[in-house]
Every structure is written in structure tokens, then in C-alpha cells.
Chain A
Amino acid sequence: EVQLVESGGGLVQPGGSLRLSCAASGFTFSSYDMNWVRQAPGKGPEWVSGITGSGRSTYYADYVKGRFTISRENSKNTLYLQMNSLRAEDTAVYYCAKESGYRSGWDAFDMWGQGTMVTVSS
């Protein structure tokens, strides 16, 4: 069974840091581009960051560039998101999402984790 399980969320003060993890199983992890997508309470999903299967290329939304770092450890089937200089507006459920691989380049997200809540508040 294809599964993504996020962890690492929690309550953090503004300016603080968190590291999210996403453990993947049921598919050849290194063959797929992966992403982080967040969703603030009552809002729609918002793409945060993406990484190619090899890990060689990474991409960021403007609002997290320079503060967040995406990485992956294919030997451990795990995706990470290091979040620094957190702001109140980063408060959201963070999902890891697998790209479907139906075409090269960007494509749809065919599998999502259950999400982990990040709350930035003093």
C-alpha cells in the first residue's frame, strides 16, 4: 500500500525552527518527485516546495525561499522540510505529496500524507 506519513509539526514561537519529515512506503521513492503543500485553516492548498527524485533539483515558493529547505534521503525513503525564521503566516497543516509521474516535469499529486499541523505563535 502506498503511504506517506508526516511528522514533526507542533507549536513554535515566531522566528523559531521546525523540521518536518515524511516517511514513504509502498513505492520506489527515488523514482518520484516529491512536494510539500500547506493549507492554512479555512483556506485552499498552497504549494510550498518540490524536489526531484534524485534530489538534485529543488524548487520553492517565493514566500518561503531563503527560509525553508527541502531535502530527501532516498536510502531511508524520507522527505524533509527544514523550516527556519517561522512567521505567524506559516501556520498551516503541512502535507507531503507525491507526483504521479505520468509525464516528465511537473504533474499532479496522486498521493498525499495525512498532514502535520504547524502553529507559529507566541
Chain B
Amino acid sequence: DIQMTQSPSSLSASIGDRVTITCRASQAISNSLAWYQQKPGKAPKLLLYAASRLEGGVPSRFSGSGSGTDYTLTISSLQPEDFATYYCQQFSSPPPTFGQGTKVEIK
């Protein structure tokens, strides 16, 4: 199975900050990567797929990049509604696997 490692596991940031979360796969995944946002008691919500394609309705302050084994999620200007836990997921090779999550908290 492909292992997905996210960093950091948590971070504190202020409104308006630029936030970057990284995800490293144990082998190359050819941009077959998705990012999800999850708020307490809710299901994960798809933000980006194919590493950099924004899902419909997701604000443009979210962006993704990367290739091979290393990928990043960037929030250009953190908003109050962005405080949540973020997960990466690879779908290059079954089984699909998720990172352990990055919790974004208010500083």
C-alpha cells in the first residue's frame, strides 16, 4: 500500500495568513492526489483533485501543486471558515490511502 505522510500534523495561524500543508507519498503517484477539508462532526469535503484542479464551488484561495511523491496544499489568505482538518488522499494505486491529517487552528 502507498503510505501518505502529511506535515505538519497541526499548525496555528491567524486570519489572512498564507498556509502550506505538505503531503509525501511513499512512491510516485502521478498527480493522482486529492485534498479534503473536514470540520468536526461533518464528512470530508473535496477541495482539489488531480493535485491541482479546484473542485466546483471551492474558493480560489485554495490551490494545490506538486509532482512525483511530493504535493502541497496552499491557502493564500486564511479565512475563519478555513479552520478545520485537512487530509490528502492518493488514488494512483489501490487501495486508496489517506494522510493522517493536518489540523489548522486559530493562533
Contacts from A to B (Cβ < 8 Å) = 35, 44-47, 50, 59, 61-62, 95, 100, 102-103, 106-115
Contacts and interface: CB of A to CB of B under 8 A. Distances in A.
Contacts of B100: 44
Interface string B2-32: 0000000000000000000000000000001
Interface of B: 32, 34, 36, 42-46, 49-50, 53, 55, 87, 89, 91-101
Contacts of B91: 106-108
A95 B98 CA distance: 14
30 contacts: A44-B87, A44-B98, A44-B101, A45-B44, A45-B87, A46-B98, A47-B98, A50-B94, A59-B95, A61-B95, A102-B49, A102-B50, A102-B53, A106-B91, A106-B93, A106-B94, A107-B32, A107-B49, A108-B34, A108-B49, A108-B50, A108-B89, A108-B91, A109-B34, A111-B46, A112-B43, A112-B44, A112-B45, A114-B43, A115-B43
Nearest to B55: A110
Contact of A47 (B42, B49, B97): B97
Contacts of A47: 95-98
A110 B94 contact: no
